[in-house]
């Protein structure tokens, strides 16, 4: 049995001072329900990806909270896996469909982050790392990914400019995305000369603090065909784990969870990496994108940064387009929503509805969602 996506919904990503978490989740959820051509009464279950609603907004028990706002009494479960919460929620929904428990499910991701200070949010996000060995001694995710960047530059002799060009490319893509937090282009000089956050990562190497939500409606193949003649199918869903703390890993320049999840997903779909036309990767920092495109197999280890600088991952200029949405860097990173936002982008690309940022002849798309510094990685493959 196949699992299909029959509807998507997404909010504008950014600073939503006039909206709370439930407003954002409701907007995305109703958008997906409307596009699918169903009513809330047709839903059998809901899975909500969210990392830190309790810490960021004071609201826990999010499954029941969102179900109440939408006006349903179906089983509704909040899924937490740090910044991979959205993709994990989708995996739970897929398993619910495949088991026969559900015919139609709503999968959402939402986060409200901008009501707190940057310091409070940074501390909250560090809960996705190893508190005993990293958080308690003052490590933050910018500093952890800076260590990866330093090691990558040393190990492969790569210029900082090559890594930072990922931000330039992603802002170019975001300039054509109306839901992006920062829909405007930037220059490489802007990235290189911005405020240093954690050497060598400047402010423009880092994804922003963001509010936003996204949702998809999934269904079994028979049910999906009742609502659409051309559903997008999820042909692979894979998850892998690695150590929580960096110091327990053999390498700082490879995320083993990404490697494993990517290989399993390609095997499930019966594809090779060359079959992928576009991929939304987890670029919480520019170095994260570089490591991702290497670990997934698009480029040899140590070659991804130069390939990015040479525009081989820019829209329709190479064999694969990376982060056509603008990625986490420019589209924004409301942590629980990111994994679903990536799915929405790929669905829209496969449906040919992305306008100026449309990937030519897009037939097979991949998403890559990471929790923490790589302790969790989730990869999905979608096809028409």
Q: Tell me, what CATH number does 323's domain have? A: 3.40.47.10
Angle CA(59)–CA(283)–CA(158) in degrees, nearest 5?
150
The rounded distance, in Å, linking the Cα atoms of 295 and 300 is 8
> Are 52 and 60 a contacting pair, CB within 8 Å?
no
Q: Which residues pair with 179 in a beta bridge?
A: none
Residue 167: band (very low, low, confident or very high) from pLDDT cuts 50, 70, 90: very high
SS3 10: strand
The rounded distance, in Å, linking the Cα atoms of 258 and 238 is 10
Q: What tens digit of pLDDT does each residue of 349-379 get? A: 999 999 999 999 999 999 999 999 999 999 9
- Establish if 169 belongs to a structural domain: yes
List active site positions.
83, 333
Q: Does position 1 have pLDDT exceeding 80, yes or no?
A: no
CA torsion sign, 314 to 320 to 322 to 323?
positive
Helix axes 141-156, 160-174, angle to 10 degrees: 120
Task: Check whether residue 223 and residue 369 sit in a common domain.
Answer: no
Number of domains into which the chain is organized: 2
- Establish if 173 belongs to a structural domain: yes
Task: Check whether residue 112 and residue 245 sit in a common domain.
Answer: no
Give the pLDDT confidence score for residue 70 in this predicted structure: 87
Q: What tens digit of pLDDT does each residue of 172-206 get? A: 999 999 999 999 999 999 999 999 999 999 999 99
Highest mean pLDDT among 53-57, 118-122, 322-326: 322-326
- Establish if 33 belongs to a structural domain: yes
- Establish if 126 belongs to a structural domain: no
Residue 69: band (very low, low, confident or very high) from pLDDT cuts 50, 70, 90: confident
Task: Check whether residue 228 and residue 249 sit in a common domain.
Answer: no
Q: Provide the domain limits for residue 200.
A: 133-208+234-383
Task: Check whether residue 197 and residue 225 sit in a common domain.
Answer: no
Overall size of the chain counted in residues: 384
Q: Considering the chain, what is the average pLDDT of its residues?
A: 97
> Are 238 and 265 a contacting pair, CB within 8 Å?
yes
Task: Check whether residue 138 and residue 31 sit in a common domain.
Answer: no
Task: Check whether residue 94 and residue 139 sit in a common domain.
Answer: no
Q: What tens digit of pLDDT does each residue of 305-346 get? A: 999 999 999 999 999 999 999 999 999 999 999 999 999 999
- Establish if 123 belongs to a structural domain: no
- Establish if 336 belongs to a structural domain: yes
CB atoms under 10 Å from CB of 220, counted, come to 18
Task: Check whether residue 193 and residue 301 sit in a common domain.
Answer: yes
Contacts of 310 (CB under 8 A, 6+ apart): none
Query: Mean of the pLDDT values across residues 143-170?
Result: 98
Task: Check whether residue 165 and residue 65 sit in a common domain.
Answer: no
The rounded distance, in Å, linking the Cα atoms of 50 and 79 is 6
Q: Which residues pair with 81 in a beta bridge?
A: 83
Residue 207 class from Cβ within 10 Å (0-12 exposed, 13-18 middle, 19+ buried)? buried
Task: Check whether residue 186 and residue 304 sit in a common domain.
Answer: yes
Residue 270: band (very low, low, confident or very high) from pLDDT cuts 50, 70, 90: very high
Task: Check whether residue 36 and residue 81 sit in a common domain.
Answer: yes
- Establish if 124 belongs to a structural domain: no
Phi, psi of 364 (to 5 degrees): -135, 125
- Establish if 122 belongs to a structural domain: no
Q: For residue 168, give the H/E element and its range.
A: helix 160-174
Task: Check whether residue 103 and residue 216 sit in a common domain.
Answer: yes
Give the pLDDT confidence score for residue 321 in this predicted structure: 98
pLDDT > 90: percent of the chain: 98
Task: Check whether residue 258 and residue 223 sit in a common domain.
Answer: no
């Amino acid at each position: 049995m196949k699992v299909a996506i029959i509807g998507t919904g997404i909010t504008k990503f950014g600073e939503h001072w006039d909206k709370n978490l439930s407003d954002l989740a409701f907007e995305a959820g109703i958008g997906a329900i409307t596009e699918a051509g169903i009513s809330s009464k047709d839903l059998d279950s809901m899975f909500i990806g969210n990392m830190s609603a309790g810490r960021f907004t004071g609201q826990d028990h999010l499954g029941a909270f969102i179900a109440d706002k939408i006006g349903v009494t179906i089983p509704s479960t909040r899924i937490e896996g740090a910044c991979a919460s959205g993709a994990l929620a989708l995996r739970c929904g897929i398993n619910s469909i495949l088991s026969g428990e559900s015919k139609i499910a709503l999968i959402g991701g939402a986060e409200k982050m901008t009501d707190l200070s940057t310091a409070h949010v940074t501390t909250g996000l560090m809960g996705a790392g190893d508190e005993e060995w990293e958080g308690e001694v003052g490590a933050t995710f910018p500093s952890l990914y800076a260590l990866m960047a330093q090691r990558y530059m040393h190990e492969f002799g790569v210029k900082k400019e090559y890594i930072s060009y990922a931000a330039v490319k992603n802002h170019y893509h975001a300039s054509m995305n109306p839901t992006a937090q920062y829909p405007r282009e930037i220059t490489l000089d802007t990235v290189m000369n911005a405020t240093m956050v954690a050497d060598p990562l400047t402010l423009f190497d880092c994804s922003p603090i963001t509010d936003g939500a996204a949702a998809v409606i999934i269904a079994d193949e028979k049910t999906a065909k009742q609502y659409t003649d051309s559903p997008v199918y999820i042909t692979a869903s894979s998850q892998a784990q690695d150590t929580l703390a960096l110091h327990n890993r053999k390498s700082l320049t490879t995320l083993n969870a990404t490697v494993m999840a990517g290989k399993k997903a390609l095997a499930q779909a019966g594809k090779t990496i060359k079959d992928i036309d576009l991929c939304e990767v987890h670029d919480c920092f520019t170095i994260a994108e570089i490591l991702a495109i290497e670990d997934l197999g698009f480029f040899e280890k140590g070659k991804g940064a130069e390939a990015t600088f040479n525009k081989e991952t820019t829209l329709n200029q190479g064999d694969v387009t990376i982060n056509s949405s603008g990625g986490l860097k420019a589209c924004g990173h409301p942590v629980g929503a990111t994994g679903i936002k990536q799915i929405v982008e790929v669905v829209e690309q496969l449906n040919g509805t992305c306008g100026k940022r449309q990937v030519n002849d897009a037939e097979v798309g991949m998403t890559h969602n990471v929790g923490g510094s790589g302790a969790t990685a989730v990869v999905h493959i979608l096809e028409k």
